[in-house]
Every structure is written in structure tokens, then in C-alpha cells.
Chains A and B, each alone.
Chain A
């Protein structure tokens, strides 16, 4: 049996490891296009602040992890998939046949259609190669514009601020992390960042990024164009000079570096002509199987089941990628394991203010919700219920035992009398958990 996995991120590596656990004799080939050993994108912010070196980002730390498990690593870009012949085409012109295939190619940041987005001063923050470029340009005192204050943008924000750059964040939404936090919480984070010296512009939009010369004579990208023609672009050794970032409001901001973090899109391009069903990501069933025989998908590329809604969507988060990788691998090895769905959840540290959100944090129709807000203390908690079951939560400024929010949501524990107590004081969630999930009658019988 030959298992081939495309993509050496957390989904792919977890799958390879799980496959080996299930099938001691099968051949396992892990194909990834990036030159480094399999690493974790999530660790990049900590590389940027020099908390770790590049090796600190590696998904597995044991030197012989792959060799000792007979997992063959192949550094190649997959360019096409032929599901009828059960084979892959690789960038070097060779082909690779599979018996069972896992697609775990992840996602890539979208490039917003903005004039000047291809300037050498603009970078994404997605790969180790990006990280090296950012380390070079984001020096203390450099002027940096961060486009996007979504979840990933906010994580990068902290790393950039800690590099002591002069940072301006431009977010289209009316608050920070608009898809993770509500108005109050998102604005609390914004205020905190402003207090820490970061300029945060919400409801703001970058309309153009002007090359140095073009900006100087105020228009016509001629010089910029010429510079590019003569190879002054991408890897120019000389500092490329400051670009001018133009906002819809008319405001102009000078920048040594612009980081684009305006969302991601599943890597589906190489699937063209493969017949595999895709929407936002690859469509999968509850066993993470795609529409093609012997092909599974996992991670940021897969449109997997959401625990809370039962809908299929790309969550693009680490824990979900790992869950997918594991379940897909079990099924590839012949087990029959159904995915109950992953909980959409995030935890974020913006310059020391920690926030988290779980499941249906925005609430459900006919549900109940409770929130408490201490703006001076930068604390916030919001719980969402359907009946007496917790279905979503978000908090700011809370770090202890927050995992029980996931526990309560995922176990769908009936809270009974504790629902009312939480409606009165949502901070008692740990007690509610101990009483309901650990020994329901301890308090229930007395309440």
C-alpha cells in the first residue's frame, strides 16, 4: 500500500504519523514544496520576535522523526492530479503514483486587488521565506503598515510591535478581529493596542500602494514601472525606499514595509481537471473523503464539518487541521471513523491582552446570552446558550482554565440550574463546569 500525502504542514505531518501508527508496513510519502523541514506557520510570529530560531518552528523536533518512521519526505511542487490513473505530476516533470492520497496543501493569503500590491515592499506573512524578508525590513523604527486586523493580522501585529517598528494597522471592518469578536470585545482590543502605541485605523481601506518615485511626483507609476522592468524588484539588495500607502479617506502613510494579511484561500489550483469537487475548499464527507476514489483531504484546504453548525466550511485553524489529518489518516488506513466536526476556536495575544473565542460566539437564534464588560480592566466575557447548553463563548483578559469553554461546548453538557447562575454571573464558568461535567449532582441536587 502506498500512501501519498501532499502538503507537509500540521495536517500532512499528523496524517503521516497516524498512518504509520495504523499501518506499520505501508509506504508513506510526504510531498511538500517548501525547502525547510516540515514546520508550523503558527510559530512564525515567535520567530519574528526571536523567541525561537527557525528550528523552533519545526513540527517535530526529533532529528530522525521521519526517517525512524519510514516517512519519505519529497521536496517537490505537485502540479496536477489524475484521479483516474491515481497519479500526481510533480514540478520536475516526474510522476508519482498512489494507492491512497491525502490532499493537505493548506491555504495561501489572498492578494487584494490594489494598485501596487506587487511592489517589493509588500509581503505576506505566511512562510519561513516571508519571515526572513520581514526580519530584514522590519527593523526598530521602520515604518510598517499592516493591512488586515483579522485573526492572523492581529497575531502578526504583536510580533511587529515587539520588533519596535512604527506600526499602523489598517482594517476594513469596524473593529479588530471582526470574525472572532463582537463589537465590545473587538474595540477593547483596539483600544489596548492604541494604548500600546500602535496606530489602529478601523473602517479604513488601502486603495493604492505607490512606489517611491511615483509618490514623489504624485502620480503615474512610470518610474516605479521602469524600476521593475530593470529588475529593481523582488530581491533587490538596495533598500527599495519607502512606498506611500493611500487610504480611501485620502490619508497617506509612508512605509518601509507593507504586510498584507487580508484573508486566506485554499490551495486548489493544481486540482484543475482532476474532477475533485471544490467550493471554498475541497468538499469532503464525514470521513474526510473527497469526491474521488481513494482521495482524502485535510486542513486549510478542506471544507470540513463545523461542530456547531453541521455546515461544511474552511476553518483555517491549527487544531482543526490536526483533527482532520488524524481522522483522514485513520480512514485511509481502513478504519471507519466519522468526524463529529471541529469547533471553530481561536486564542489571541495582542501585546499582552489575551482574548479567545469558541464556537457560536455570536449567538444563536432563540438562544440566550449573557455578557459582562469591564472596559477599564480590559476584561470581557460573553456566553451563548441554546437551552441550557453552552454553544459559544468569547472572552478578553481571561487566561485561566479557558479550555473548559471548549469542553462544555463539545460535550453539550446540560447545565441545568447552573445555566441560570451563569446568566447571573458568567465568570463562574469553572464552577459550572466542575458541577455539571464532573459530577452533575454535586451542586445540582442542592441548587
Chain B
């Protein structure tokens, strides 16, 4: 069964443990600016929205890549960047309409959520259950919609 990240912003307290865990897992440093999941702070409402790639079926990043550096890991349901193949051209960063793949000047390649090989560290680190890793029966787009609805109710 494919699993995917499920985000419930209503439960997020903005502690940024997810960002820490992500950057440590991928960059070996506790540096939220290098995290592939990002908590957005709607300070006017005192709300927080964790945000990362939904591994969408359109895979805009993968399609736009000129050197075959992004591949779909079917068993994981993730789109994964190969740091060896990526040349750092950044075309995927403008092609992804969700803004969830970004260039990392330190490494010279792009980075995005890869679901940590099946055990996402952000979900493990989240103390409030705002980020969970659950069975994915929905497509990327449906996930987006669900997420949007969730955000809606949470705002109510």
C-alpha cells in the first residue's frame, strides 16, 4: 500500500521540529533553511501551515528536467532527485507550480521531499500529529483538495 504525507495545519503549533528533522536527515545539519518541508507562519491569524511536495502525478519537475535527474520511485510513490545527475539548471524550480522543489546553492543541485525512503523524518518528529504518514488512496490532486478542505475547516 502506498503511503503519503498527510498534513493537518490545524494541529501545527509552529515548533519547526519537522524542518529540523528534515534538514538533519538530508543535509546533516540542523538548519531549517535547508529543509524540504517548510512551516509557513500566518502571523496575522497565529496559524501555521506545514507545506511540502505532494508527489503529484503530473510530476512537473520530472517532466521539465533536461537531464533525466528526477525519477519516479514507483514503490514509494515519490519523485526523487538524483544529486549525481542534477546539473543545477533550476528549470524544475520554475516548472513546479507548487513551489516545492528549490535550488540549494550549497550543494549546487535542487532538492525536494523524497519521503525519506519510506520513513519521513518530519512525520516522526512532529509532536502534535500535524504531519502523519498514512495510506495514500488518493491521487496527488485529491490530496491537495483534501488538504485545502482541511485548511478550511481548521480556519473556521
Question: Interface on A for B, CB 8 Å cutoff?
Answer: 10, 14, 40, 42-43, 46, 51-52, 56-62, 318-319, 322-323, 326, 345-347, 349, 352, 354, 356, 358, 399-407, 410-411, 430-431, 433-435, 438-443, 445-446
- For B88, list chain A residues within 8 Å (CB): 46, 51, 349
**Are B97 and A59 in touch, CB under 8 angstroms?**
no
Chain A residue numbers with a CB within 8 Å of B45 are 442-443, 446
Q: Would you call B95 an interface residue if the criterion is a C-beta within 8 Å of the partner chain's C-beta atoms? A: yes
Q: CB of B74 within 8 A of chain A? A: no
Question: Are A46 and B44 closer than 8 Å at their CB atoms?
Answer: no
* B100 CB-CB contact with A under 8 Å: yes
Docked-complex contact A435 and B93, CB < 8 angstroms: no
Main secondary structure on B side of the interface with A? mixed
Min C-beta distance of B49 to chain A, whole Å: 5
A442 touches B154 (CB 8 A): yes
A403 touches B98 (CB 8 A): yes
Interface 1/0s, chain B 45-79, versus A by CB < 8 A? 10101010000000010011011100000000000
Residues of B within 8 A of A (CB): 38, 40, 42, 44-45, 47, 49, 51, 60, 63-64, 66-68, 85, 87-103, 105, 108, 144, 147-152, 154-155
Asked whether, in the complex, the Cβ of B87 is within 8 Å of the Cβ of A403, the reply is: no
Closest to A406 in B: B97
**Pairwise interchain contact B95-A431, C-beta atoms closer than 8 A:** no
| Contact of A318 with B155 in the complex, beta carbons under 8 Å | no
What is the minimal beta-carbon distance from B120 to any residue of chain A, in angstroms?
A: 19
User: Could you tell me the distance in whole angstroms from the C-beta of B86 to the nearest C-beta in chain A?
Assistant: 10
Is A59 a contact of B148 with CB atoms below 8 Å?
Answer: no
Residues on A with C-beta less than 8 A from B108 are: 51
Q: A347-B90, A431-B42 are in contact. Are A318 and B99 (CB under 8 A)?
A: no
**A10 closest partner in B (C-beta):** B66
Task: Decide yes or no: A318 and B64 within 8 Å by CB, A434-B40, A439-B148 being known contacts.
Answer: yes
By Cβ-Cβ distance, the 6 closest A-B pairs, closest first, are A439-B151, A407-B97, A401-B99, A404-B99, A403-B96, A40-B66
Q: How far is the CB of A415 from chain B (nearest CB, A)?
A: 15
Query: Is there contact, CB below 8 Å, between A399 and B87?
Result: no
For residue A256, give the distance in angstroms from its CB to the closest CB of chain B: 26
How distant is the Cα of A440 from the Cα of B149 in the complex, in angstroms?
A: 9
Q: Which residues of the partner chain B approach A46 to less than 8 Å between Cβ atoms?
A: 87-89
Which residue in chain B gives the minimum CB-CB distance to A57?
A: B67
For residue A43, which residues in chain B have a CB less than 8 angstroms away from its CB?
A: 66-67, 87, 89
When the two chains form the complex, which single residue of A10, A58, A401 contacts B102, counting CB atoms closer than 8 Å?
A401
- Contact in complex: A346, B155 (CB < 8 Å): no
Q: Report whether over half of chain A's contact residues are helix, strand or loop; otherwise say mixed.
A: helix
Q: Name the contact of A59 in the complex, choosing from B67, B93, B102 (C-beta under 8 A).
A: B67
CA distance A318 to B102 in the complex (A): 18
Q: How far is the CB of A244 from chain B (nearest CB, A)?
A: 34
| Minimal Cβ-Cβ distance residue in B for A61 | B68
Contact A56 B66 (CB under 8 A): no
In the bound complex, CA of A444 to CA of B38 (Å): 21
A-B residue pairs in contact (CB < 8 Å), sample of 28: A40-B66, A40-B67, A42-B66, A51-B87, A56-B87, A318-B64, A318-B66, A318-B91, A346-B94, A347-B89, A354-B105, A356-B93, A358-B94, A402-B94, A403-B60, A403-B92, A405-B94, A406-B97, A410-B97, A431-B40, A438-B144, A439-B148, A439-B152, A442-B42, A442-B45, A443-B155, A445-B155, A446-B45
- Closest chain-B Cβ to A90's Cβ sits at a distance in Å of 27
> Do B89 and A42 touch across chains, with their CB atoms under 8 A apart?
yes
* Contact in complex: A442, B67 (CB < 8 Å): no
Partner of B91, one of A42, A59, A399, A435: A42
Give bound CA distance, A319 to B152, whole Å: 33
CB < 8 Å neighbour of A442 from B47, B51, B85, B89: B47
Chain A contacts for B96, CB-based, 8 A: 403, 406-407
Contact: A404 with B151, CB < 8 Å?
no
CB distance from B43 to the nearest CB of A (A): 9
Using A40-B67, A59-B67, A61-B68 as known contacts, list a sample of 13 further A-B pairs with CB atoms less than 8 Å apart, ordered by residue number in A.
A10-B66, A318-B64, A322-B64, A326-B63, A345-B94, A346-B94, A347-B93, A358-B94, A399-B93, A402-B102, A406-B96, A407-B97, A438-B151
Kindly list chain B residues whose C-beta atoms are within 8 Å of the C-beta of A347: 89-91, 93-94
What is the chain B residue whose CB lies nearest that of A444? Answer: B155
Q: Which residues of B contact A60 (CB under 8 A)?
A: 68
Assembled-state Cα–Cα distance A51/B60 (Å): 24
Contacts of B147 in A (CB 8 A): 438-439
Q: How distant is the Cα of A212 from the Cα of B154 in the complex, in angstroms?
A: 73
Q: How far is the CB of B115 from chain A (nearest CB, A)?
A: 19
Scoring A42, A400, A438 by chain B CB atoms within 10 A of each residue's CB, the highest score goes to A438
- Identify the closest chain A residue to B33 (Cβ): A400
Contacts of A319 in B (CB 8 A): 63-64, 91, 94-95
- Give the residues in chain B near A326, CB-CB below 8 Å: 63
